[in-house]
Amino acid sequence: MHLRNPKDFWSGIMFAAIGFAFAIVVKVYEYPMGTASRMGPGYFPFVLGNALGILGLIILLKSLVTNGGVVSKFAWRPIAWILGGVIIFGLTVKMVGLALAIVTLVIIASFGGHEFKLKEQLIAAVILAAFSIGVFVYGLKLPFPIWPSFFG
């Protein structure tokens, strides 16, 4: 099928899916609905979820009769390197310490860019690590370990 307005079509799908999902969760997990005068925890999300779901369907239907832009290709390379680097930082920083975690993050994230110059990025990473440790650990006293925990 040829989509006339792909951006709105997919937006509609997104809104409808998320909206109805919220409403379904309310039902499946049996959050109490309560009454209009004493609303339970399920009331407001159920109404909102359905509202969003219906709105999504409207956007979807409208997209079939209007013309609009195509969804350009996802830039998976930066997505993967940037978010991957962030996730690895989050998972490892407590174990390997801030110094190593920052250097790792900078190097990984650099692969998401257009050009990669190892020497330059390494220097940048070391400077960043030193600066961050100075400001955040010594200055703001945030409780980060600096060195890997297996060094003692």
Partner 1 sequence: MEALLSNLALGFSVAFTPEALMYCLIGCLLGTLIGVLPGIGPVATIAMLLPATFALKPEFSLIMLAGIYYGAQYGGSTTAILVNIPGESSSVVTALDGYQMARKGRAGAALGIAALGSFFAGCVATLLLAAAAPPLAQIAFKFGPAEYFSLMTLGLIAAVVLAHGSVIKAVGMILLGLLLGLVGTDVNSGMARFNFSIPELSDGIGFVSVAMGIFGFAEIIKNLEQGEEREVFVNKVGRLLPTWDDVKQAYPAVLRGTALGSLLGILPGGGAVLASFSAYTLEKKIAKDSSQFGKGDIRGVAAPESANNAAAQTSFIPLLTLGIPPNPVMALMVGAMIIQGIQPGPQVMTEKPQLFWGMVVSMWIGNLMLVILNLPLIGIWIKLLTVPYRLLYPAILVFCCIGVYSLSNSPFDVLVTACFGLVGYIFVKLECEPAPLLLGFILGPMMEENLRRAMLLSRGDATTFVTRPLSATLLGISLLLLLIIMLPAIRKKREEAFVEE
Q: Closest approach of Cβ 76 to partner 1, in Å?
A: 10
User: The dihedral of CA 143, 129, 108, 80: what is its sign?
Assistant: positive
Report residue 39: phi and psi, to 5°.
-75, 135
Half-sphere exposure of 7 (CA within 13 A, CB side): 8
Helix or strand or coil: residue 33? coil
Task: Decide if residue 109 touches partner 1 (CB under 8 A).
Answer: yes
Alpha-carbon distance values, 63 to 12, 38, 51, 66, 142 (Å): 8, 39, 18, 5, 49
Task: Decide if residue 37 touches partner 1 (CB under 8 A).
Answer: yes
Q: Which C-beta is closer to partner 1: that of 1 or that of 70?
A: 70
Candidate list 100, 126, 136, 146; residue touching partner 1; CB under 8 A: 136
Q: Closest approach of Cβ 4 to partner 1, in Å?
A: 15
Task: Decide if residue 90 touches partner 1 (CB under 8 A).
Answer: yes
Structure token pair of residue 28? 């499946």
- Secondary structure of 52-65 in HEC code, one letter for each residue: HHHHHHHHHHHHHH
Candidate list 79, 130, 134, 149; residue touching partner 1; CB under 8 A: 79
Residue pair 74/10 in contact (Cβ under 8 Å)? The answer is: no
Task: Decide if residue 64 touches partner 1 (CB under 8 A).
Answer: no
User: Which residues sit at the interface with partner 1, rule CB under 8 A?
Assistant: 7-8, 10-11, 14-15, 18-19, 22, 25, 31-32, 35-42, 44-45, 48-49, 51-52, 55-56, 58-59, 62, 69, 71-72, 74-75, 78-79, 82-83, 85-87, 89-91, 93-94, 98, 102, 105-106, 109-110, 112-115, 120-121, 124-125, 128, 132, 136, 140-144
